[in-house]
Structure 1
Amino acid sequence: MTSAGIAAVFDTAATQYAAVSPLLWNPMGEATVATAGIRSGERVLDVCCGTGASAVPAARAAGPHGHVDAIDLAAELLAHGRRRAAAEGLRNVRFIQADATTWQDRPYDVVQCVHGVFFLPDMDVSVTRLTGLLRPGGRLAVTTWAQGAMENFGRLFAEAVEHVRRAPVAPPTSRQAASRIDTEDDLHTYMTARGLTRVVVTRFPLRIPLDSAVAWQVVLGSGFRGMLTGLAEPAVDHVRSAFGRLLRERGMTGLDATSLIGVGTRP
């Protein structure tokens, strides 16, 4: 999917993305900021920031003498982030519609990207470039799905979509990139290969109780929504019904959203 296509998917999902954040995105954002060890006065770049799940806690941690640049392609997600920061009275964060592959500002004490690096075109080149935006001694934090996380959920949702489309559904292009960094060893090796030192990978377990309403909220407030592209509203309703039925039949009552958080230092 092109950058414009990704932005369009997440723009459409903005309201649902914000709604599901307390269950899914916010805990991951808070955990990433804590693991990265953002300190008062530090300058932070948050890439693929969405509605601010990691940018807002980063701004809190950086304090009034620090600063956070939060960038994303999706304007509607950014608007939610601005409202959230304003509600908390945070003046040290700015939400900017920008492409991470061309962002020039530097240097930063911390660059963080929560569940976003696998959406970037040419993940290797993009992550190496983000590392170059750090000052010497600065930290890169990358959060990604652990192996097996979201898989059963995604498999059932794809089955529901295929039932309605009456055709196989291709896995998202981001899946192949994400699968390269879905174990502690793989993420450690990957970040070391980008020139980072003192890499530490932390597992963040997260399990969300699931019913059909919450499951559909997760679909609409995440990248899974892209699988509905091109379907008319009645067809989307059929997918929702089929998905709910599959969840009940297969007894899926929880969503495994376990993540890995890798933090490394630029020499």
Structure 2
Amino acid sequence: MNDDPENPWADSAETARTFDAASGDFDELTPTVWGPAGQALVFQLGVAPDEAVLDACCGTGSSALPAAAVGPEGLVHGVDVADEMLEHGRLTAERRGLKNIEFVCADASQWEAPSDVPDAGYDVLSISYGVFFLPDMDRTFWRLVSLVRQGGRAGVTVWRRGAMEEFSSIVFDVASRYSPGLREHGVLRDRTPLHRIDTPDTLEAWLADAGTDSVEVRTLSNLLPATEELCWSLVTGTGLRAVLTGLDSGQVASVRQQIAEEVTARGLRTIDATTLVATGTVRRPPVSG
């Protein structure tokens, strides 16, 4: 059940179904989209040997897997509600011989640190592209920050304002020809709390309110060629996949063709996947609200 009117994705069961269905295509986007941001987040967080890391909304592991550089005496807990996504992460970890990372199917908003986490708490909290999908984003993030020790670090990645918007608009315009109700929902930025944290200034202030100091926000530029294959992967491998719900195979094929035609007609040559990477040091309790 969704009790968060600001965020239609706050229904964790519906979110799990959408991303489970997208899991294979989602992982195909790791080299070009999720991976660069995940690596940048782990680097900016300064993840060090022997540390304990909580990676919430971890998906297939774009930031959880790089965090496994904490080594054999460290640990990484990757948490997500979509178990099919997690399975891709587990298989990748197995191929790489990583023994210090565990992918757990759980609701991050209810997560409690298990017994293998030090009493002081996690050293690091990372959330890449997932914080705006959390139910009651502010309170859930504050709670996750509370699981991190004083002096630990917390960080997120989010789409920068304007990123993905032109392409998402095309997708919604085409899909609404088959599902008219989509016109009432709007694109991702309007359907989630993302619009409140998608500039460097608003994201910095939000992290500070969540109980972190020394906040640093960097912009990761990522302009992707708008090939037909990539465009369709961005539909089937992201939250945009929800626009295909209820369509039969013929309609889905038509949506794909018409998206390609609209991309060409509107002269969209690159897709803006620019991302904000923000980190801070956990120093104080979050501002209550």
What is the TM-score when the length of structure 1 is the normalising length? 0.96
8 Å contact kept, 2:122–2:147: yes
How far has the Cα of 1:166 moved from its partner? 4.3
Distance 1:132 1:83 in 2: 30
Could you list the per-position Cα deviations for residues 25-56 of structure 1 after superposition, in whole angstroms to 9, with x for gaps in the alignment? 11111111111111111110000101111111
Matched positions, count: 266
Distance 2:170 2:160 in 1: 18
Distance 2:172 2:50 in 1: 45
How far has the Cα of 1:171 moved from its partner? 2.4
Partner of 1:87: 95
Supply the AA of the counterpart residue of 1:147: R
- The 3-state SS of whatever aligns with 1:24 is helix
1:171 and 2:186 matched = yes
Distance 2:224 2:85 in 1: 23
Structure 1 regions of 5+ residues with no counterpart? Answer: none
Kindly report which structure 2 residues correspond to 1:58-73, keeping only aligned pairs within 5 A, or say none: 58-60=67-69, 62-73=70-81
- The 3-state SS of whatever aligns with 2:110 is coil
Kindly report which structure 2 residues correspond to 1:118-157, keeping only aligned pairs within 5 A, or say none: 118-157=132-171
Distance 1:86 1:171 in 2: 39
8 Å contact kept, 2:55–2:125: yes
8 Å contact kept, 1:29–1:54: yes
Match for residue 247 of structure 1 among 242, 257, 263: 263
Could you list the per-position Cα deviations for residues 93-130 of structure 1 after superposition, in whole angstroms to 9, with x for gaps in the alignment? 00000110110105100000001010001101011101
Q: 1:201 to 1:59 in 2, by over 3 A?
A: same
> Which consecutive segments of 4 or more residues in structure 1 shift more than 4 A?
none
1:34 and 2:43 matched = yes
Partner of 2:210: 194
How far has the Cα of 1:195 moved from its partner? 1.7
What is the TM-score when the length of structure 2 is the normalising length? 0.89
Distance 1:104 1:133 in 2: 8
Structure 2 regions of 5+ residues with no counterpart? Answer: 1-8, 284-289
Please report the RMSD computed on the Cα atoms of aligned residues, expressed in angstroms.
1.3
Distance 2:278 2:263 in 1: 32
Distance 1:237 1:173 in 2: 23
How far has the Cα of 1:169 moved from its partner? 4.9
Q: 1:234 to 1:169 in 2, by over 3 A?
A: farther
Distance 1:211 1:179 in 2: 27
- The 3-state SS of whatever aligns with 2:108 is coil
8 Å contact kept, 1:158–1:169: no
8 Å contact kept, 2:165–2:187: no
Between 226-235 and 91-100, the greater mean CA deviation after superposition: 226-235
8 Å contact kept, 1:161–1:169: no
Supply the AA of the counterpart residue of 1:57: P
Partner of 1:103: 111
Q: State the identity %.
A: 39
Could you list the per-position Cα deviations for residues 146-173 of structure 1 after superposition, in whole angstroms to 9, with x for gaps in the alignment? 0100000101111111123345251267
Distance 2:267 2:48 in 1: 44
Distance 2:153 2:105 in 1: 23
Q: 1:173 to 1:254 in 2, by over 3 A?
A: closer
Distance 1:31 1:113 in 2: 12
1:56 and 2:60 matched = no
Distance 1:218 1:173 in 2: 13
Partner of 2:199: 183
